[in-house]
Chains A and B, each alone.
Chain A
Amino acid sequence: MSKTDKHYNDISCRDGLEILVGFQAMDNFLRSTNNKWFRHRLSVVTYFVTAAFALLFLRLFYLQVIEGTEYRQLSENNCIRLQNIEYSRGLIFDRNGVLLVDNRPSFNLNVVLSNAKPVESTIGKLSQYTNMPVDGLTSQINDIKGISCYKPFLLKQDIGRDILAAVEAHKYDLPGISVDVKPKRHYMLGNSATHLIGYLSEINANELKDKKHNENRPGDYIGKFGIEKSFEKYLTGKRGIRHVEVNAVGQVIRVLKTVDAEAGDNLYLTIDERIQRKAEELLEGKAGAVVAMEPSSGEILALASSPTFDSNIFVSGMSHDEWENLISNPNRPIENKAIKGAYPPASTYKIITAIAGLEEKIIDINTSFYCPGYLTHGNRKYMCWKRGGHGRVNVVRALAESCDVFFYNVGQKLDIDRLGWYAKSSGLGSPTGIDLEQEGAGLIPSTTWKRKRFGFPWTSGENLSAVIGQGYNLVTPIQLLLLISEIANGGERIKPLVVKKIMSPEGKLIIESKPEKLGRIPASQKTIDIIRQGLCDAVNKNYGTAYRSRFGGEIEMCGKTGTAQVVSRKQDESNYDKKITAYLHKSHALFVCYAPSNDPKIAIAVIIEHGEHGASSAAPIAKELVQAYLNPTNEENQTSSNEAVDYNPIYD
């Protein structure tokens, strides 16, 4: 410590070390690094370094010496391939566990050109064994020559058992030819519940870019419509993978490693397959929709839209003509009319008018108006559907008989925006939130809407069309179903459910649907009771519009008929002949109902396009459905009640 820095340069290395050891005493080794402490730390580092190199050495020894022969073999064959293991998509059952959608194996015939040499003779033999025309195969091969030599190319998809057997039997005579198995979606019901379940189709370029499909690859099938689409993330599984060793001609010698595919979750729908089929049977040959629901839980029991189509054609691929037929059909089979079709609510809207009138104190239970068959408003005569008139009626009887004049009277005093508020608060004119894509909104007009849309103010005459559900009003069948369910529930609006529960492939419960309250009809219990009485009388009193569809005794059904005048669509008409034009001018038939009246178990909305009268074509369908649901055993006995006296003309 006595020496100064200046002297360091002149002393030898060894001397320097000794001098510097003197600094050891100092706490901070900053002054020097040459001390025991520093040396100790470096020697610890040396152990670490040695250990790290020893580890690398041991690993090398293991890979190259112990496992060397094994790896050499693998590398010489150059033979590790990756194979996908397709997952099985979740199954779909109805509420009682009846299987609706399944996967079946489908066999595809592939060729890997580089392995199929000599190609000519291989193709010749393939044709000989399978009876597939040699010309077709050769032209297919010529198309792909030079494009994908090393990758499997699909020769024929979904081959039959005979070709499969032939190829498997002559496997070793057919180099480069292979058969792979892929699960294919199978809709067991064919064209039943198609609109609800939906279908799968090949993923397109836009969907591939979407983040939610980042696990998908071109060629994958994904849900495109209905539940298949909206529950895609549960139904889809996870692809597995297999590392295999192949020989020179691409045949698998052994499997090195397998990561199993994970199956998708199984869905249990709320629909009852029996009711669904019944609804479709009743819609056969008609265009329209039937939706049925358990009012207290919101569980959809049946959701049928007619005409329908077979979902299976989307999976196996359809011809251009088949597709053209589907989309050019004037009855729009692809559209799910139950949630997308927008129709004038017609007389079913009188439920809203009655509620608004009662709640706004324009009328009460005792208020009655005289119906001479028409009402003069301004300088125009507004007709009641019943030419002779209904005489003096109160609100209950007006609902039962669907008296237009009574509601015209209410409409004269009712503000249209107020009426609209009651309709919207009851769920009309906006999507219900059902878990299906493409739900329609419908339309509940208001004064501001009209001014914006047409530039004219609302006229008081339009009030009179609005109160009986004509004019601009448009609703979807599912909205009407919710409205009638609200009446059945005493005012609660429950979200319609299509899936009851989701189970993992191992049978573990993942999600169980619970009734979800969406809101409440803005009406007092008293008002609702009055409406219920009116709806009850409409079916069960001999003056009711749906008297023909009453039950004999054990079940009391409540309902409301509707007949929606069709606003003609000029440009459409020119395309069809007279007979079709006449059909297109016929009114739509509507019926909403619930049963039994004291403890509602089922609510139904029926719309038959151009069915003319709600009472004659929509109500009987609802009746049969109620019958099938509540009284499945004695369906046959009940039909006799239709023979009852036909008091009412079928009109409203």
Chain B
Amino acid sequence: MIDRRLVQNFDWKLLGLTLILSLVGAMTLYSAVTSGKSTIHDVLFYKQIIWYTVGIVLMIFSFLFNYKAIDRWAFIIYGFCVLLLLLVLFFGKYAGGSRRWLIIGPITFQPSEFAKLAVIFVLARYYSKTASTNGLCLSELIVPVILCMIPFVLIVLQPDLGTAMLILLIAASMSLFVKIEKKAFVFIIASISVAIPTIWFFLRDYQKKRIITFLNPEHDPLGAGYHIIQSKIAIGSGMISGKGFLKGTQSALSFLPEQQTDFIFSVFAEEWGFIGCLILLLVFFMFIARCLKISYGSRNPFGAILSFGITAMILWHIVVNMGMAMGLMPVVGVTLPFISYGGSSIIIILTSIGIMLNISMRRFLFD
């Protein structure tokens, strides 16, 4: 059943990078949850190990079948995800001011994480059929805009601005990648630059204030601004060589908020310093380059666009999360792939890698 060439073409490098990153992730998480000497958090580490295991099983599963099945199933998967997003709004678990989690039996998961992949699937399917070297014209963009806005709105309602923004970024990257006609592009830019001030004009004062705080956290020194300062202190205090594994003080004294998820990079940077961070950046860069190579190597437009979409998703996660921890970006709940704690996040990342391996393996198969 398994073709010999499939084994030959298997991308061992990508798998290797994935395993390295997962290891770094497990280590950093261990530090983040144990150095506070609170026993409750220990559980998180073991939970995460379980998530890694589940993720690896799913990864293996997702390179066994031919990825072209995703092309056929794209809209069904998408529809299912939209349904889950609707369910979350009504039956989701309410925690920390938002409704993001669905509980089914013993499993708690975040449908918005799955929605990211679903959007990539449908856009890859759509663009692989419509894209041309001339670029997409306006009428061809209507469908993708709708496909992207449905989950976007549902996720904003939860509210989970970080994931919603990420979906927009991924969709925009994919659309730009397959090229947008110059006229259409100018039109979109123009309408956005008209729409934003118009919407701003109609917003109420408190809504404006919230957006300003979001864009400029220093504006809210009690909440987000405080977190940014603490995160910057953690990263900066790592200096060149770092404080050493398990020796971070910012995280030990719980100065960092969400240190096992959104601000995990600060924990890493504090303990491993500039040298460690540089290595991590390099590994991530190699990882992204490897992913782009898979897209480059794919002979099938669907495969190429799909792998590009997944690459864009991982890249944006890395850039937004690190940028946020270093005070370059607004504070949004975006995880650092492989490293942040979170079942849904790990599973989605590992499944995506599985699909990447799948595309890479089958780059010479035509049917």
Contacts and interface: CB of A to CB of B under 8 A. Distances in A.
Interface in A43-68: 45-46, 49-50, 52-53, 55-57, 59-61, 63-65, 67-68
A241 B224 CA distance: 14
Given A53-B284, A65-B274, A72 B237 contact: yes
Interface stretch (A34-42, A189-197, A514-522): A34-42
A64 B296 contact: no
Given A30-B129, A65-B240, A78 B255 contact: yes
Given A42-B292, A64-B240, 4 more contacts: A28-B132, A33-B303, A42-B296, A259-B221
A76 B278 contact: no
A13 interface: yes
Contacts of A38: 296, 304
Contact of B269 (A27, A50, A60): A60
Interface in B289-347: 289, 292, 295-296, 298-301, 303-304, 308, 315, 319, 322-323, 326, 328
A71 B232 contact: yes
Contacts of B240: 64-65, 68
B251 to A, nearest CB: 10
Interface string B252-278: 010100000000000001100110011
A29 B236 contact: no
Contacts of B295: 42
Given A28-B131, A33-B299, A45 B366 contact: no
Nearest to A73: B237
Given A29-B133, A41-B177, A241 B222 contact: yes
B298 A33 contact: yes
A64 B235 CA distance: 7
A20 B299 contact: yes
A218 to B, nearest CB: 15
Interface residues of B, number: 56
Interface in B124-147: 128-129, 131-134
Contacts of A67: 236
A430 B177 CA distance: 70
A171 interface: no
Given A60-B235, A68-B237, A78-B255, A30 B364 contact: no
A85 to B, nearest CB: 11
Nearest to B323: A56
Interface residues of A, number: 50
B315 A5 contact: no
A114 to B, nearest CB: 13
A64 B179 contact: no
Contact of B237 (A5, A46, A74, A257): A74
Contact of A64 (B269, B308, B315): B269
A33 B301 contact: yes
B274 A61 contact: yes
A477 B322 CA distance: 67
25 contacts: A20-B299, A30-B131, A31-B301, A32-B301, A33-B300, A33-B301, A33-B303, A49-B289, A53-B281, A56-B281, A56-B323, A56-B326, A60-B274, A60-B278, A64-B240, A65-B239, A65-B274, A69-B239, A71-B239, A72-B236, A72-B237, A76-B249, A80-B230, A243-B221, A257-B218
A133 interface: no
A20 B177 CA distance: 21
B114 to A, nearest CB: 25
A192 to B, nearest CB: 37
B133 A45 contact: no
Given A41-B179, A67-B236, A33 B304 contact: yes
A82 B221 contact: yes
A609 B295 CA distance: 92
A323 interface: no
Nearest to A31: B301
A9 interface: yes
Given A63-B326, A78-B253, A56 B269 contact: no
A552 interface: no
A571 interface: no
A417 interface: no
A75 B249 CA distance: 7
Contacts of A39: 296
B177 A45 contact: yes
A619 to B, nearest CB: 51
Given A29-B133, A61-B274, A75-B233, A52 B221 contact: no
Contacts of A59: 323, 326, 328
Nearest to B322: A56
A52 B319 contact: yes
A136 interface: no
Interface string B205-221: 00000000000001001
A647 interface: no
A70 interface: yes
B277 to A, nearest CB: 5
Contact of B277 (A16, A42, A50, A60): A60
A94 B288 CA distance: 70
B28 interface: no
A243 B274 CA distance: 26
Interface string A69-110: 111101110101010000000000000000000000000000
A8 B179 CA distance: 28
B322 to A, nearest CB: 5
A41 B366 CA distance: 23
B299 to A, nearest CB: 6
A259 B232 CA distance: 19
A34 B301 CA distance: 9
A29 B302 CA distance: 11
A518 B230 CA distance: 57
Given A67-B236, A75-B233, A75-B237, A9 B366 contact: yes
Contacts of A52: 315, 319
B111 interface: no
B239 A72 contact: yes
Nearest to A17: B299
A16 B288 CA distance: 26
B278 A8 contact: no
A119 B221 CA distance: 33
A386 to B, nearest CB: 64
A70 B278 CA distance: 20
B238 A257 contact: no
B187 interface: no
A55 B328 contact: yes
A337 B133 CA distance: 83
Interface in A608-622: none
Contacts of B235: 60, 63-64, 71
A74 B250 CA distance: 10
A34 B299 contact: yes
Contacts of B315: 49, 52
B229 interface: yes
B356 interface: no
Contact of B364 (A16, A70, A72): A16
B61 interface: no
Given A46-B292, A64-B274, A75 B234 contact: yes
A82 B230 CA distance: 12
B237 A71 contact: yes
A296 to B, nearest CB: 36
B46 interface: no
A57 B281 contact: yes
Given A38-B304, A53-B281, A257 B274 contact: no
B90 to A, nearest CB: 24
